[in-house]
Chain A
Amino acid sequence: GDSVTQMEGPVTLSEEAFLTINCTYTATGYPSLFWYVQYPGEGLQLLLKATKADDKGSNKGFEATYRKETTSFHLEKGSVQVSDSAVYFCALNQKAAGNKLTFGGGTRVLVKP
């Protein structure tokens, strides 16, 4: 079946540091790829998405590129802020099972001032 693997956290950074969270996937066909973010006490919010190979998703300074050859969708941000502290989930989505998302285990990011 489909699966998503992302680096375990927690990742602790200083403000203005560069952030990378690795994500790789296993799937049949051509899934869409997503990054969701979960702030404390809240539900998941869509951060960015890419629906086909070589697409780059971007939002709020975050970027990720859909790499079919390496089955990866790494999340990056050039200069993090304290407000970026959250749990980040990589996910894939296939056209089946009610638009089901298959999630990675989540990566907690803590940004210190």
Chain B
Amino acid sequence: EAQVTQNPRYLITVTGKKLTVTCSQNMNHEYMSWYRQDPGLGLRQIYYSMNVEVTDKGDVPEGYKVSRKEKRNFPLILESPSPNQTSLYFCASSLPHPSPLHFGNGTRLTVT
């Protein structure tokens, strides 16, 4: 089954404790990206990758890092999480524009 898999689904952590949210896709997509969803703001792009070893900032990259060492994986790293990073995070992948994005089921992160 074609899918984007994120882990964990839920995560509660404390300020400053490094964490990684994993994302994997099995569709051989070149494009992968991370979004955060906040009430009333819709989804905003954090980082994206157009292929292996090619990543770039989206609209809200502050406080986040990513890496793309393999085509299927695109982890999101929060080196020193803060409470304003409490949000619902989605990983997505796609073929080139204008192909639709395929989304994972989300990771709900709470930073206390």
Interface residues of A (CB under 8 A from B): 4, 8, 32, 34, 36, 41-46, 49, 51, 89, 91, 93-95, 97-101, 103-106
User: B50 contacts which chain A residues (CB < 8 A)?
Assistant: 98
B31 x A101 contact (CB < 8 A): no
The 5 closest A-B pairs by CB, nearest first: A98-B48, A103-B42, A43-B103, A32-B98, A95-B97
Is B56 an interface residue, CB under 8 A from the partner? yes
Q: Count contacts between A and B, CB distance < 8 Å.
A: 72
User: B111 contacts which chain A residues (CB < 8 A)?
Assistant: none
New A-B contacts (8) at CB < 8 Å, excluding given A32-B97, A34-B100, A99-B97: A32-B98, A43-B90, A46-B100, A98-B31, A98-B48, A100-B45, A100-B48, A101-B35
* Bound Cα distance A71, B97 (Å): 20
A97 x B42 contact (CB < 8 A): no
* Bound Cα distance A49, B101 (Å): 11
User: A43 contacts which chain B residues (CB < 8 A)?
Assistant: 4, 90, 103-106
Is B49 an interface residue, CB under 8 A from the partner? yes
**In the complex, what's the smallest C-beta–C-beta distance from A106 to chain B, in angstroms?**
5
* Bound Cα distance A42, B4 (Å): 12
B31 x A44 contact (CB < 8 A): no
A105 x B42 contact (CB < 8 A): yes
Is B41 an interface residue, CB under 8 A from the partner? yes
